[in-house]
Structure 1
Amino acid sequence: MARGRGSAVVVLGLALLCLLVHNEFAEAATYVVGDSGGWTFNTNGWPSGKRFRAGDVLVFRYSSSAHNVVAVSAAGYNSCSAPRGSRVFTSGNDRVTLGRGNNYFICSIAGHCQSGMKIAVSAV
């Protein structure tokens, strides 16, 4: 009989864990970078006042013939450069899931990052 109760506790524990994991993903938010203006120049202040969580999704909307989105490190963000091997998005409607900590994105088209086409997003 004790074996049956132990199994029930394990099953209940696993069910509770699944529920918690499900809630974590169910609460993920989706943000359109730049709001109605989309991913464009001077969007570097867009994250201000927003609270991001790991798992949230950023949607970058832009003209794919004029811009791109590159996930970079803090150094790449600060220098407006995309190191070799950086993840580059070019669809014009890119969805990027935030990781915990700092997430940095730039447009690597010449002069665009320097004109404010970059964002730094911190996710908890």
Structure 2
Amino acid sequence: MAMGRGSAFLALVALCVVAHFSSGHAATYVVGDSRGWTFNVDKWPVGKTFRAGDVLIFKYNPMLHNTVVVSTLAYQSCAATRDARTLTSGNDRITLSRGVNSFICTFAGHCQAGMKIQVVAN
């Protein structure tokens, strides 16, 4: 009988370990899905739930675009500050922080054409 209880206890511990690690994995999202980081992508986050630690991947042609991490004010005005983090790989990976995360493309006219997103991570 003690052997049965020990096995049940070990099974319960194993289940708790699996549940702990499976709930802690961050999700990864490709911005714009199959279209990638491009024009009119500003509505892409609508209906999605993001968490701090999730990763956004910005896929684009680096000769034509970039990804710039900006403040909410810079997002609204489509004007990045000089110290804004600018990525240019064409396959940028950004881990979301808790709260509002804002991104724009600073090539002329791109942000104004909807090449910008804001993501709220809980």
Q: TM-score per shorter chain, which class?
A: 0.7 to 0.9
* Further displaced range: 55-64 or 26-35: 26-35
Are the counterparts in 2 of residues 25 and 55 from structure 1 also a CA contact under 8 Å?
Answer: no
Out of 89, 95, 102, the position equivalent to 1:97 is: 95
Aligned to 2:68: 70
Task: Please list every run of at least 4 consecutive aligned residues from structure 1 whose deviation after the TM superposition is greater than 6 angstroms.
Answer: none
Aligned to 1:115: 113
Aligned to 2:53: 55
Whole-Å Cα distance in 1 between the matches of residues 53 and 111 of structure 2? 25
Q: Relative to 1, partners in 2 of residues 1:53 and 1:111: Cα closer, same or farther, differing over 3 Å?
A: same
Q: CA deviation at 1:27?
A: 1.9
Whole-Å Cα distance in 1 between the matches of residues 85 and 22 of structure 2? 26
Q: Deviations over 1:51-90 (max 9, x none)?
A: 0000000000000000000000000000001101000000
SS in 2 for 1:55: coil
TM-score (normalised: structure 1)? 0.80
Root mean square deviation of aligned Cα: 1.5
Are the counterparts in 2 of residues 80 and 106 from structure 1 also a CA contact under 8 Å?
Answer: yes
Q: Which has the higher helix share?
A: 1
Out of 80, 83, 87, the position equivalent to 1:82 is: 80
Summarize the alignment of residues 38-53 of structure 1 with structure 2, pairs less than 5 Å apart.
Answer: 38-53=36-51
Whole-Å Cα distance in 2 between the matches of residues 122 and 88 of structure 1? 20
TM-score (normalised: structure 2)? 0.82
Q: CA deviation at 1:49?
A: 0.3
SS in 2 for 1:40: coil
Aligned to 2:5: none
SS in 2 for 1:36: helix
